[in-house]
Structure 1
Amino acid sequence: MNDKLVLCIPGQWKDEDKLIRKLTRKSSGEYSLTGGLLLDTKRNRAFEIRIEEQDPKLAEAFYLSSKGDFSDKTMQKVEKHTMVIYLSGYMGSAEAVQRMIAPVQMLLACGGVAVKIENCDKAFTPEEWNMIGEEARLDQLLNTMISYMQDEHYFYSCGMQMFGLPDVALSKETDPDASLQVMSQFLYLMMNASEGTKDKLNEFKLYGTTYQYHHQEGFFQEESSSINNPYGIYVLTQI
């Protein structure tokens, strides 16, 4: 099972030593790089970090993950990257996801030009990522971390494995605009249920419409894919 949340951060650093010095200076010693780990000394946390050389295929990957919404200026910065950081940490809860926000913000402040969540194939500019707070509400986390895709038959969410939960799918016979609202609301209620609130998923209703749902093992992606959800998926059916 893939149990790591992985974030890709390209930047225009001259070399690894320059990155380390800038990180130490920018964070006033709060963060440090050592032995393949990014250490957060203030919060007593450690994250795995891998630094790679320029990747000629990265710009296209970011363009697709941003759904073409990146500005020309941002895309030029991604294209001119000299190094790529892969930051990873354990996932499986809202708290675990929130822990990844601050270190990514620091790496962006140190010269990162964009960030992509490998687990849901979604990309952000530094400005977009910095709008996320460490104490973000559940709905804010869902809006940020979850992407929505489609295949021949279904609209479906992608990324709920980061919270230790199944994703959701809805037939493409549903209106596209309505499907997004239905899926996001279902995920929000499921998140609340997992956090121990009274919103249990005995049935799901939205604006007078009732949906049946059944759990399906596996996902629409290959098992080896970073966006595969080992917790499966809920398929909603309007009744």
Structure 2
Amino acid sequence: MSTIPELVLCIPGPWGGSSVLADEIALSAIGYSLAGNVLRDSETGFACELVLQRADSDLADDFRKAGPHWATTIAMADIEDHRSVAYLVGPGGSREAADAMMRAGAALVDSGGLGVKVDSTGIAHAPAYWIDMCEQLDQLTAHRALVVYVAGAEVYSCGMHNFGLPEAITSGGDKTQAADMLRFFTRYLLEHAPQFEDGHTFSVSEGKPVYRVERTEAIDYGDGSLFNNPYGAWRLVPLVPEKKGNWWTRKR
């Protein structure tokens, strides 16, 4: 894939300017430094762009919409008092890049950040939860942090491009169950890198519904949208129950 998608994190904070933020990072974020608009991890050499902007009066509402699961918490209320907004911009396209960007986000949270909104996915996380996920990246917590599931006329994932992988789409049946199945499927893609082809079948486990896997286009969110996935998508088509088999089997 010639075009690597950007992974963008939005982190509001109490910082009065870039020099204040740089000082906080030097004091609080072990191993990280901010020089100009580059945030760097001295241990790994990873670097991403940091753009600091003025406070945004609409940002608290944006966070509540993207993080309804913590909308009524004190942590969410704290965002009302932010003085500036840091945007971390770096490459997606692989698990390693996604993990590195998550750790960079944690460096800003350690330096006073009030939460993290994944602008390339559309989900927001409380600061303590973000740190907790970053401490468990070996357990694929980045998948939980960076991928969401949308239920409309169809049910589909958004955010797998952060790992360089296709999205997943399905239709019909119970929306909650469909989202749970797609969550399992997309994590399976990330963890095991299976070599699916059109016509292969997939099931969460023996005795569960079976789906035929077909390659398709990803949802088009419009030109320039950070949600767009250049890697396409897998459509999971429900099949009539048939004889038991493995989690996924090749078409015979």
CA distance in structure 1 between the partners assigned to 2:238 and 2:94 by the alignment: 29
Query: For 1:16-95, what aligned pairs fall within 5 Å after superposition?
Result: 16-27=18-29, 30-67=31-68, 69-95=70-96
Question: 3-state DSSP class of the match of 2:210?
Answer: strand
Any idea what the Cα deviations from partners look like across 1:129-183, whole Å, max 9, x if unmatched?
01113562464332222111123x1011110001111111111x22123112210
Q: Given the alignment of the two structures, is residue 205 of structure 1 paired with residue 209 of structure 2, yes or no?
A: no
Any idea what the Cα deviations from partners look like across 1:16-35, whole Å, max 9, x if unmatched?
2222112112236x222113
Do 1:49 and 1:86's aligned partners in 2 also have CA atoms closer than 8 Å?
yes
Do 1:10 and 1:83's aligned partners in 2 also have CA atoms closer than 8 Å?
yes
- Partner letter of residue 227 of structure 2? I
Could you tell me how far 1:2 is from its partner in structure 2?
Answer: 5.9
Question: 3-state DSSP class of the match of 2:225?
Answer: coil
Aligned residue in 1 for 2:247: none
Identity %: 28
- Partner letter of residue 180 of structure 1? A
Unaligned runs of 5+ in 2: 240-252
Q: Select between 5-14 and 35-44 the one with higher mean Cα deviation.
A: 35-44
Do 2:29 and 2:108's aligned partners in 1 also have CA atoms closer than 8 Å?
no
- Partner letter of residue 53 of structure 1? R
Q: Select between 137-146 and 60-69 the one with higher mean Cα deviation.
A: 137-146
Question: 3-state DSSP class of the match of 1:131?
Answer: helix
Aligned residue in 1 for 2:224: 224
Aligned residue in 2 for 1:107: 108
Unaligned runs of 5+ in 1: none
Aligned residue in 2 for 1:188: 187
Could you tell me how far 1:193 is from its partner in structure 2?
Answer: 4.1
Q: Select between 63-72 and 84-93 the one with higher mean Cα deviation.
A: 63-72
Provide the aligned length of Structure 1 versus Structure 2.
232
- Partner letter of residue 48 of structure 2? F
Could you tell me how far 1:79 is from its partner in structure 2?
Answer: 1.4
Aligned residue in 2 for 1:4: 6
Any idea what the Cα deviations from partners look like across 1:71-130, whole Å, max 9, x if unmatched?
342232111111000012211111111111222112111111010111110100111101
CA distance in structure 2 between the partners assigned to 1:106 and 1:189 by the alignment: 29
Query: For 1:90-239, what aligned pairs fall within 5 Å after superposition?
Result: 90-133=91-134, 136-137=137-138, 139-151=140-152, 153-171=153-171, 173-194=172-193, 199-201=194-196, 202-206=200-204, 207-239=207-239
- Partner letter of residue 230 of structure 1? P
Do 2:48 and 2:90's aligned partners in 1 also have CA atoms closer than 8 Å?
yes
CA distance in structure 2 between the partners assigned to 1:34 and 1:20 by the alignment: 7
Question: 3-state DSSP class of the match of 1:84?
Answer: strand
Q: Select between 200-209 and 79-88 the one with higher mean Cα deviation.
A: 200-209
Q: In structure 2, do the counterparts of structure 1 residues 210 and 72 end up closer, same or farther at CA, with 3 Å as the change threshold?
A: closer
- Partner letter of residue 186 of structure 2? L
Question: 3-state DSSP class of the match of 2:133?
Answer: coil
